[in-house]
Copies of this chain bind each other. A is one copy, B any other.
């Protein structure tokens, strides 16, 4: 056996590969999003508001796993960019129901396009069958860990 020592290739385990490749994918997606002057948190919030129209800020914060006070600032940005609206509820005037504007829906479609471009580029080394296999294995892991579909774990301590 060769000399060992120095740069011993302790082949990375699959769990480490997941964090490594996953972080790289996240970074590249964020880079692409910059063309829309958005970051991943913006994209996730737009997606959530579209999926569940009329959400309150409290509900959205809980869904996204972030503090309501932090959400306020992000929504301020999105509202200033004309992508969402806060509409006071008729029944309870404390709550703000969140909606996408027409421009917000348009932006959401652009995000979808960017996500597809990102995916194609990132998985260029895999053929269609391999991508399906990978997706199936990851879905199994995601389900096992009860990850909410479409929601990136932001992980601030609760």
Measuring CB to CB, which residues of chain A are less than 8 angstroms from any residue of chain B? Answer: 6-27, 29, 51-53, 115-116, 118-119, 122-126, 130-131, 133-135, 137-145, 147, 149-153, 155
Interface of A is mostly: helix
Given contacts A18-B25, A18-B138, contact A10 B119 (CB under 8 A): no
Beta-carbon contact of A119 and B22 below 8 Å: no
* CB-defined contacts of A27 to chain B, threshold 8 Å: 153, 155
Contact B153 A20 (CB under 8 A): yes
Cα(A150)–Cα(B90), bound, Å: 55
B contact residues around A134 at 8 Å (CB): 14, 134, 137-138
* Chain B residue at minimal CB-CB distance from A26: B19
- Could you show 28 A-B contacts with beta carbons less than 8 Å apart? A6-B51, A6-B52, A8-B51, A10-B150, A11-B149, A12-B142, A12-B150, A14-B119, A14-B131, A14-B138, A15-B123, A16-B150, A16-B152, A19-B26, A20-B151, A20-B153, A21-B22, A21-B147, A22-B25, A24-B142, A24-B145, A24-B147, A27-B153, A123-B141, A125-B140, A125-B141, A134-B134, A134-B138
Task: For the complex, give the distance between the alpha carbons of A150 and B21 in Å.
Answer: 11
Q: A153, B24: Cβ atoms under 8 Å?
A: yes
- Output the nearest chain B residue to A148 by Cβ-Cβ distance: B20
For A132, the closest partner residue in chain B by CB is: B14
Taking the closest CB of chain B, its distance from the CB of A96, in whole angstroms, is 19
Would B24 and A23 count as touching, CB distance under 8 A? no
